[in-house]
Chains A and B, each alone.
Chain A
Amino acid sequence: MNELNNSLTMDEAVERNLLDRGRQGVIGKPLDRVDGPAKVTGQARYSYEEPIENVAYGIVLTTEIGRGRVASIDADAARAAPGVIAVIVDHPLVPTDSSMTSALPRTLPEIENYGQPIGILVAESFEAARSAASLVRVDYAPEAGRFDMMEHLAEVEHEPPTRFRPPQEVGELDAALAQAAVTLDATYTTPHHLPAALEPHATIATWQDGKVEIRSSLQMLQWSRGAIAASLGLEPTAIRILAPFVGGGFGGKTGVGPEVILAVIAARDIGRPVKIALTRRQTAHLVHRRSDTRQRVRIGCNSDGDILALAHESTVSQKEGRDFIEPVSIGSLSLYAGAARRFSQSVVRLDLPMASAVRAPGEAVGTLALETAMDEMAEKLGLDPIAFRKRNEPERDPLRGVRFSTRRLVECYDDGASRFGWEQRHALPGRRREGEWLIGMGMAAAVRSNLLMQSQARVRLTADGVAVVETDMTDIGTGTYTILAQIAGEMLGLPLDRIEVRLGDTDLPPGPGSGGSFGAAGSGSSVALACQQIVERLASLIDAKPDELTLQDGIATARNRRLPLVELLAGQPIEALGTIRQGKNGQAVNQAAYGAQFAEVAVNAVTGETRVRRMLGVFDCGRILNAKTARSQAVGGMIWGLSYALQEEAVVDRRTGAFATRDLAEYHVPVNADVPRIEAYFIEESDRYANPIGVKGIGELGISGSGAAVANAIYNACGVRPRDFPLTLDKLLPGLPPV
């Protein structure tokens, strides 16, 4: 069987959406997840659950100081403990933290942050390993550490090298601010966030014949394989990673965690498979964090409310030597008009665990500040927050002058306002009270830049008319299995029970991985391109042009011929590889997804407790592949926004550099009782510049702006506007009326 190839580079607008030819009628439908039954019956095996013979259990050994040196390690007692197989604390490749491309050179005995790995202990059971780990005695030579950004603001590093650095400045900001009739200059702060995926970070490493098979909970397998290879000096071909099911990533599984490298090292050392799961408390330090932020927003307007000047300047923290800088202002670059604009990012180097991508890096925290500032400015101008935003809706990208691929933000505002009942909002805060509860409404814009990463997928139409879709793309709970089955089913005219989707295996064609909300666009496009090639082959088999061929329910129809696929194939399967690449469209147009977020909250006038009563979002994010999984993504994102507004805060003990909030009882994320009725709606428009199936990233869009909508609703409810997130009750109390 010859494999067909179909590649597309996005250098221009796609004339015809590949999905439009389908007649199966499954695309866009609110179908249940195809992997749902396996998950709810326990058939779906997550990385720690795969039964492996003769497996040994590892536990990561970590430092208990935040800065200094390891003076000595005494592992004799641990080695002598029952069930202990090995204690590995002298291996030269012990990683210091997560790695995106390659592990950093080992720095032991130097300690860069609290909870840094110093080795691994392997035993016959998890309990034996954990118990013996407490017997490893580490002597430290502690040094004074830098653990708090605010204490070290004077040592800020401006314009650090960063992969996300946006363009810095257009126009004359200071002059424009000086001319403005109304100005706002406000500084907002957000705390550290932890990814907090529910599935443990877990790995099983098995060596055989000089190759290692790694079952691990990872979001991006190709990157991960490269990072593991570079970290350990292995050929990528010697590594196979399997991650068929991943129980949430939230950015925390985008890199290769130290437990992956340690499992591989230990398995080779002891000559047995080794499995490791981080304990919940370990994840606070062994998984990266989102940096805390300090954000100064300045807006200058004329008296009519036209923005003349907009500046969003941020300071974040990062370890020495790590290049990720939280791209705080990325969502602010082109959300509003205004001739003079400045966006800058600065960093304070701290001795804390590495900062990296967590749930909508940039927009999640950036919109908390920008969209609160817009609310504050609207009030100063005496304008309705929606009217103020619509007045400043840009025609083109105000930074680069390029056109927007699609942008229907104004429709999102209007549709959302109408559905939500925005007209019932009192312009003045504190006007609606029900018993002890002060009720308020708030809104905010949502924006999330749209990305396309190179992706490949193979589709094989077997002789018995079943389509097998293969890519190493992951499904981290987002619905990848389902949407890829829908794309193949729509294009090949097959019901979903005749589609098999295989994911999460580096032996399969490389997909983009799950991150940056680019998974569906890349993997979906590559599957569609492969299917397009198969359709062409089927057309030639039936002696017709592709446009003349209709495929539905396993039957091919063309030119008065009607044949079951099985007959048409005549025993010969067809296999095609689809490849999508970003091209000129990435820069030539501004591609982003948008939305309008609304929230109604109740603030207790006695205690300052905030309870969100309802949330509503209207989103413009391209074509929708599955109305149900898309809605789940949007609603889930909105809940994370609620979380940033009200709850999430990883607290660092400034004396030790350790996180004080290390489990899910102390690191608060919303529980069911916190989550109100949430509605999410889509304004669908296929984006011809984004990819051949016209979709845009959804996953992180729902996060953007939803926290600010809650914060603005709190102000509308009670007239208190803390600028330090999360907005816990202690920050509202001083502004509440006397009891």
Chain B
Amino acid sequence: MKSFDYARADTPEAAVRQSGNPATKFIAGGTNLLDLMKLEVETPDKLVDISRLDLRDIAPTDAGGLSIGALALNSDLAADDRVRTHYPVLSRALLAGASAQLRNKATTGGNLLQRTRCNYFYDTASPCNKRQPGAGCAALGGFTRNHAILGTSDHCIATHPSDMAVAMRALDATIVTMAADGARRRIAIGDFYRLPGDTPHIETALDPGELITHLELPPPPEGKQIYRKVRDRASYAFALVSVAGIVSMDGGKIASAALAFGGLAHLPWRDKRVEDALIGNAPSTDAFEAAADVLLTDAKGFGANDFKIPLTRRTMIACLRELTSGAAA
């Protein structure tokens, strides 16, 4: 671990004042950042400890949604009655992630900003365009079981590891931030994450020193919600594919659909065309297959992760069947 300066912030304003350059990192739960610092994958000059900021509350918004403080613990958010009742997809996604110990420590804001679990990102002896722009990508031609099949580039095929963010994407969450100069900003989650392109080291729309203070959920969506995670062991494993689905029915036809996918891309994947292909149709295997065709048209495997293409298709169809069936979610 590289030596670093440490400062503790008492207010968001103080936190952002002490930040503002790329070598400064905020630390909250530290469940990901500290591991990466030990490996020197992350080498900040300075840590600003935001864990004592008053940002833990989960409260209703005037619009009928929910405001979630960036420091609300994953375990608290998952157990919140309002979340369990009105946003079950979020509660289930949270509980599908990590382990109980990690969820007791990890925060909502930090969860959004997890770095990829690409084996080569973790190995500082391997070239990685995320760690060192322009160095190359060791995952290409390497062991790719956990890697992306959608939205990849020649520079990076990593996946985003979060479960929570997939549910947030399906729920159309808004990320509320404070910039280094104290200015507030609202970023739709659809605009928050970036595809790798030729700058895989830039993962979000956040500017240096910009602090996530809250997440906002819109009013509870109509219809049924599910989160399904497919993984190699029953807990403490990253998603091979996960689906956050919200579907409402009207007169035997799909009235609305929101489908977000984890384990497939550099970001929680959502494709409006897939949802459009479903809306207005009666649920049927043919309709689900057609929607899966839309999702996977451009899917590309890299050998060890080729199986994700049929796995995603099968999982998506099973989820849609459950979402459109009469039984309760």
Contact = CB atoms under 8 A, between A and B. Distances in A.
B235 A674 contact: yes
A655 B123 CA distance: 14
Nearest to B40: A134
Nearest to B322: A436
Contacts, number: 92
A436 B318 contact: yes
Given A131-B2, A609-B230, A674-B233, A729 B318 contact: no
Nearest to A665: B117
B232 A728 contact: yes
Given A653-B143, A658-B123, A670 B117 contact: no
> Which of B40, B233, B240, B315 lies at the interface centre, i.e. has the most chain A CB atoms within 10 A of its CB?
B233
Contact of B141 (A655, A671, A739): A655
A560 interface: no
B134 interface: no
A730 interface: yes
A609 B123 contact: no
> Which of B2, B125, B231, B315 lies at the interface centre, i.e. has the most chain A CB atoms within 10 A of its CB?
B125
Contacts of B315: 606-607
Contacts of B311: 607-608, 729-730, 733
Contact of B235 (A130, A663, A673, A739): A673
B237 interface: yes
A668 B232 contact: yes
Contacts of A609: 230-231
Interface residues of B, number: 38
Contacts of B317: 606, 739
Nearest to B289: A739
Given A665-B117, A666-B119, A131 B1 contact: yes
B188 interface: no
Interface string A642-673: 00001100010101101011110110101111
Given A729-B311, A739-B317, A662 B232 contact: no
B310 interface: yes
Nearest to A611: B234
B84 interface: no
A348 to B, nearest CB: 20
Contacts of A736: 314
A189 to B, nearest CB: 15
Given A131-B2, A729-B311, A733-B310, A281 B233 contact: no
Given A82-B3, A131-B2, A655-B142, A668 B314 contact: no
Given A436-B318, A606-B318, A661-B119, A281 B39 contact: yes
Contacts of B6: none
B289 to A, nearest CB: 9
A127 interface: yes
Nearest to A612: B234
B263 to A, nearest CB: 12
Nearest to B98: A665
A199 interface: no
A651 B143 contact: yes
A626 B39 CA distance: 43
A666 B231 CA distance: 12
Contacts of A733: 307, 310-311, 314
Given A658-B123, A660-B119, A671 B236 contact: yes
B117 A666 contact: yes
Contacts of B122: 281, 662-663
B233 A671 contact: yes
A660 B311 CA distance: 23
B125 A673 contact: no
B3 A739 contact: no
Interface of B: 1-3, 38-40, 99, 117, 119-120, 122-126, 141-143, 145, 230-238, 240, 285, 307, 310-311, 313-315, 317-318
22 contacts: A64-B125, A134-B40, A281-B39, A436-B318, A606-B314, A607-B230, A607-B311, A607-B314, A609-B230, A651-B145, A653-B143, A655-B141, A655-B142, A658-B123, A660-B142, A660-B143, A663-B122, A671-B99, A671-B236, A730-B311, A739-B317, A739-B318
